[in-house]
Amino acid sequence: MKKEFIVAKIEASTDGSPYIYVSFKDPNEYLKAGDKQMNPFGSNVMAFNSPEDLMKNLPKAMSNISNMFGGGAVGDAPTFKVTMKEYDDLKIKVGDKVVIDIQRYEQNDT
């Protein structure tokens, strides 16, 4: 199954581990009000557009953890946990269109 998404949010792990959470939205839900981009996660969520932006704002994000939990619920948006290396290799930013391909893994236990 292949499905197109828009990168909606990129966040640092709140527990200080070296992971990034990348959340996606359906393109039809992401763009509203005549192609005007809206923040689908509320005003308390800190989004990052690049690894440099993430590292620059990490202290602020860590000091504001309670606000991140308060109003930034993702809901049913698919979210992937990736390492900093994987994120850097992907070279994606908020607003990019991506295609997610899901395939069933079949394992023969003989």
In terms of Cβ atoms closer than 10 Å to its own Cβ (0-12, 13-18, 19+), residue 12 is buried
Q: What is the CATH number of the domain that holds 8?
A: 2.40.50
Token pair, residue 63, equals 């000091």
What does the pLDDT look like over 40-95, one tens digit per residue? Answer: 555 455 666 777 776 777 666 665 554 444 444 445 678 999 999 999 999 999 99
Residues 6+ apart with CB under 8 A from 78: 5, 23, 24, 100
Domain residues for the domain of 51 are 31-75
- Give me Rg for the CA atoms of the chain: 15
10 and 40 share a domain?
A: no
Residue 51's pLDDT is 74
Pair 51, 68 in one domain: yes
Strands 36-37 vs 31-32: parallel, antiparallel or unpaired: antiparallel
48 and 15 co-located in one domain: no
pTM score of the predicted model: 0.56
Domain count, the chain: 2
**Residues with Cβ within 8 Å of residue 41, at least 6 apart in sequence:** 8, 9, 23, 47, 72, 73, 74
> Same structural domain for residues 89 and 59?
no
- pLDDT, tens digit, for every residue of 21-32? 999 998 887 665
- Joined together, the tokens standing for residue 89 give 């290799």
